[in-house]
Structure 1
């Protein structure tokens, strides 16, 4: 009777001490803080960009995960029971966005050619 009671008491004490032990190991970086993270790895930056409610407990959420060239935008369907990835978008970096804006502001080749011809014909008419 006594050996069984001692074993049960030790088991209960171990179960009560387990959360304290896990917290202690996380503080000393011996265990990762998040699921799937390597020891010493920095957590990914995450940001909710927008939310659209489509029902009482259904939403479409756009989330950006990561920074810089590694940033990815996820379109998630969120319900009370699950979260499902609907689409993955690659994020353009600031340099790529600036380059695309510069190209968009540039006049087309046809416009440049017409302007050059108009300027050339104006100079030629004075020389005749």
Structure 2
């Protein structure tokens, strides 16, 4: 994989995950008709998955996962851990865990930028 693609790949994955989280929020969680469909006696098959997503932000699970990923990014200096923290931060922000999501997004993005900068500098020095 060339240098530019190796730098762009985590950011592309982060953007895709952010889009999926936004679609999940605005097309599955928030619409009233989705909520009403799940309240009726005979709920559609997808209501249990929707309920799991809702329980995730009611229990602040996405926020806890984002903070755990941010700590991992600080401890394990690897592009994967930084991209994971950034992506989970965006998911937490989209799914109502604002404080933890913002912290994880900031730590993960800054860590990923720093790791990529250091790798690029090391390649240029060779």
Place the TM-score, normalised by the shorter chain, in its bin.
under 0.3
Higher relative contact order (CA 8 A, sep 6+): 2
* TM-score w.r.t. length of structure 1: 0.22
Choose between structure 1 and 2: higher helix proportion.
2
Which of the two has higher C-alpha Rg? 1
* TM-score w.r.t. length of structure 2: 0.22
